[in-house]
Chains A and B, each alone.
Chain A
Amino acid sequence: MIEPAQKQGLAARLLSGQPAALARAISLVERGSPTVSSLLKAIHPHLGRAVVVGFTGPPGAGKSTLVNAFIAEMRGRGKTLAVAAVDPSSPITGGAVLGDRIRMAEHTMDSGVYIRSLASRGHLGGLSASAARVADLMDAAGFDVVVLETVGAGQSEVEMAEMADVRIVISAPGLGDDVQAIKAGILEIADILVVNKSDLPLANRTVRQLESMLALRAKSDWKVPVLTTNALNGAGLPELADAIEHKAAKRTPKGTRDASSSRTRRLLAQSVAKQLEQEILADRTAETDAIITALQQADIDLFEAAARILKHYTERQQNG
């Protein structure tokens, strides 16, 4: 059992900007080890400085190459960046091959850039369960910009909305059904749309399609720009960085607190759901079996069955 006092050592080193400490902290947080809470407590007062930018989009859009170009642009503006690149774990084996940082290799030796590859580890959706906490750690470590890069899938658009100050959705011309490749949900939460590979012939058409889809969105006080980039030669990157800084400047402390609160609530709900799930799967008591049999025979419906299980567990808790 590691004493909290020793965790303080790690927190202090992380807050002073030591990348090895950040790396270690991310690993601990990813494992969801309970000893991590004192670490999170220690960093809490130092949160809120970094701008969190989320990049998402379908495979083939050139996300990693774009993030690579974005890093170069921001370094040119004197900013430091930490990147969490998330790839899906195999649902069958639990393993993953993480190759996003291959496209960002030019920044490996830049001490102003920190890159970490994360696997989704069974978390449904593009991000990992701990992605929000990882972003917090990167924020506390003092980086100006935190980048979350992920393939858009499952619940990720909602999570991304709660985690990122600026949400970028990337597409590229010729990806099968073009913009149909971007799920409508993702489009809803995007702050900036980027059409990468702008040198390809159909780029302008993709831009027009996106603009017309945007017209269907609910009105808000932020007008979503549709930008074009060529991540390979850097075209469009200054404009993208400007748009991101512009959106980031609109953050308010209340907005940040609300997002954090909403994120924490979701994290709690997911944790409760996971604990309950594990309990029910392992539960072989007669009461639970009876409920399951009734459901199986369609004597009761799913909603009723769930209510009964919850009632059963609550009563069991009360009776000690």
Chain B
Amino acid sequence: MQITPARWIEKGHPMSMKNKAADWHEKYDAMIGTDKVVKNRSGIEIAPLYWPLDDPDGSYAEKLGFPGDDPMTRGIYPTMHRGRTWSQRQLIGLGRPVDFNARIKSILKSGASALSIIPCNSVYRGLDCDEVEPEILGTCGTILNTVEDMDISLKDIPIDEISIGLNDPNPFTMLAQMLVVAENRGISWDKITGTSNQSDYISHFVANHMFYRLSLPGARRVQMDTITWLAEHVPNWNALSIVGQHMQQAGATPAQAMGLTLSTAIQYANDCIERGMDPEKFLERFTFFFDISISFFEEVAKFRAGRRIWNNLVTERFGVTNPRAKRFKFHAQTSGLDLTRQQPLNNIARVTAQAMAGIFGGLQSMHTDGYDEVLSTPSEDSAKIAISTQNILKHEAHLCDVIDPLGGSYYVESLTYAMEEEILKVIVQIDEKGGMYKAVECGFVQEMIGASALEYQDQVDSGEQIVVGVNAFQETEDASSRPILKRPPIEQMEEQIKRLKEVKVARDPDVLARALQDLRDTAKSTDANVFAAEMDAVRAGATLGEIVSVLRDELGFGMPLVVA
């Protein structure tokens, strides 16, 4: 039964708890607008939030609290998914910009509310399409070498209305291209919203080497320059997304992934403070990106613990009081590593369980994998099922009607404490190494992750961890019944290469040369802003490959620490 403030007084509760509940109710009402009346199939009215009938020692108030308030365990907003559900941010990327544009339109039509753009692997490596064998082009993402490519990709897309996630590692050429496209379209930069999804160079150095282009110190310089520049010019853009996904995919346990990610966030916050930035302001723009494995309750607890730790951490370490700066905003992606090649349709069930864990964990944005993810880049059909999965959980299973519905479960609360302890242990270890930057420089983090990866593999190999269809419940399958995936026809890629060559030739060579020289000089200097120079280079027609090449020359080529 709904506990109203009146009933609190009846039961003789301490004033503070009563006030906190009333306080939350007030904020909730203000934020929700017209609250719908929610009734289940049996006619029972469902309240937005449930909390214990009494809290004599105040431990509920202290440890869990109300959503949107210290310590944030139950969520970062008073309304959470009852008010606004998460952004359905599906990753898309496809060969040529024109094909990609068609896919964006189709995905937006089928219900996605935000975009996440994935470039071709060649782009990740910092190479233009004319520097790579055509057969491996455009197979996993879109070729985005120039402003023209970005313009075609975003044709007729209202970039001032949609939140855009750019999977765009340091030095962020896609961001520069997109901003120039906006400029050319007369769109003011303060209308541009979204996130630099791959701005966490430390996670790339450690665990996603394909994204790692510049040396560690070089990447640090460009990241800080870019954050500074964005704070001034694109105020609604999230410059930083700190990524736990790569490390968990590389084998870190969920607690380790959370601990290492929070340690990275501390490192970046310190770097910003050193640059004279104010944590009360810049922390508002910190976002996170996590993996969701199929270890259901563990993931729910991981997110709740992470959210609580971050809230306490920024208060203690940075003295933050601005509530918006304490919010642990995160995007999450269901883990492709839990999916199997064997009996691929089973992956739909897996993604469903993972998505549920993410929802109960309180995410703000989600990507669900297609069931054929393990076979190659997902097909259009499987991408649609992935979105439908989210819609079914929302609208049919009604998972959004109550904020933090698992809160108060004996198991979940106990596990949240336990995960909190494990996560804090990792943060302490990293602190002892002098912070995350030093810890990854010397290979400490890589060894931790490698050891966990091997341990998990041993568990699967020995059958201790069952994987349906792989080490148990196997079936003989007819390989011909597996979905065949389309790759872009090689002629299309060759056409794209030809197009790039034409674009290059059409540029003003003097303007280009000056802009690239300027970029070079800026990189060599210690106080000029590299991203500002990069913007000019993009305006002058410089390609991704040319820009990355200059920066690799001046700031160092990024070779990950390969621990044999």
Contacts and interface: CB of A to CB of B under 8 A. Distances in A.
Interface of A: 97-99, 102
Contacts of A102: 562, 564
A315 to B, nearest CB: 51
Contacts of B562: 99, 102
B19 to A, nearest CB: 54
Contacts of B563: 99
Those 6 A-B pairs whose CB atoms lie nearest each other, nearest first:
A99-B564, A97-B564, A102-B562, A102-B564, A99-B562, A98-B564
Contacts of B564: 97-99, 102
7 contacts: A97-B564, A98-B564, A99-B562, A99-B563, A99-B564, A102-B562, A102-B564
B531 to A, nearest CB: 26
Interface string B264-276: 0000000000000
B555 to A, nearest CB: 13
A98 B562 CA distance: 12
Interface string B527-564: 00000000000000000000000000000000000111
Q: What range describes how many residues of B lie at the interface?
A: under 10
Contacts of A97: 564
A320 B235 CA distance: 95
Nearest to B556: A232
Nearest to A101: B564
B96 to A, nearest CB: 33
A74 to B, nearest CB: 22
B451 to A, nearest CB: 15
A97 B563 CA distance: 10
A102 B209 CA distance: 15
B454 to A, nearest CB: 13
A103 to B, nearest CB: 9
Interface in B217-272: none
Nearest to B561: A102
Nearest to B563: A99
A58 to B, nearest CB: 15
A99 B564 CA distance: 5
Nearest to A60: B442
Nearest to A99: B564
A171 to B, nearest CB: 17
Nearest to A100: B564
Contacts of A99: 562-564
A214 to B, nearest CB: 29
A128 B415 CA distance: 51
A99 B563 CA distance: 8
A116 to B, nearest CB: 16
A97 B564 CA distance: 6
A193 B49 CA distance: 70
Nearest to A105: B559
A233 B564 CA distance: 23
Nearest to B562: A102
A102 B564 CA distance: 9
A69 to B, nearest CB: 15
A143 B563 CA distance: 30
B222 to A, nearest CB: 19
A102 B563 CA distance: 9
A98 B563 CA distance: 10
B209 to A, nearest CB: 13
B484 to A, nearest CB: 37
A97 B562 CA distance: 12
Contacts of A98: 564
A72 B108 CA distance: 54
A164 B562 CA distance: 29
A99 B560 CA distance: 14
B554 to A, nearest CB: 14
A102 B562 CA distance: 8
A83 to B, nearest CB: 16
A95 B562 CA distance: 19
B450 to A, nearest CB: 12
A99 B562 CA distance: 8
A272 B564 CA distance: 35
Nearest to B564: A99
Interface in B79-137: none
A173 to B, nearest CB: 14
A54 B562 CA distance: 24
A311 B111 CA distance: 90
Nearest to B559: A105
Interface string B353-372: 00000000000000000000
A157 B563 CA distance: 26
A280 B162 CA distance: 80
A108 B564 CA distance: 18
B217 to A, nearest CB: 11
Nearest to B442: A60
A109 B82 CA distance: 61
A268 to B, nearest CB: 34
A97, A98, A102 — which one has the most chain B CB atoms within 10 A of its CB? A102
A99 B446 CA distance: 15
A98 B564 CA distance: 7
A201 B212 CA distance: 28
Nearest to B215: A232
A139 B563 CA distance: 31
B553 to A, nearest CB: 14
A64 to B, nearest CB: 10
B457 to A, nearest CB: 16
A96 to B, nearest CB: 10
A10 B143 CA distance: 50
A271 to B, nearest CB: 31
A123 to B, nearest CB: 20
B205 to A, nearest CB: 15
B435 to A, nearest CB: 16
A88 B385 CA distance: 51
B256 to A, nearest CB: 23
A246 B563 CA distance: 35
A266 B563 CA distance: 35
B125 to A, nearest CB: 16
B438 to A, nearest CB: 12
Nearest to A102: B562
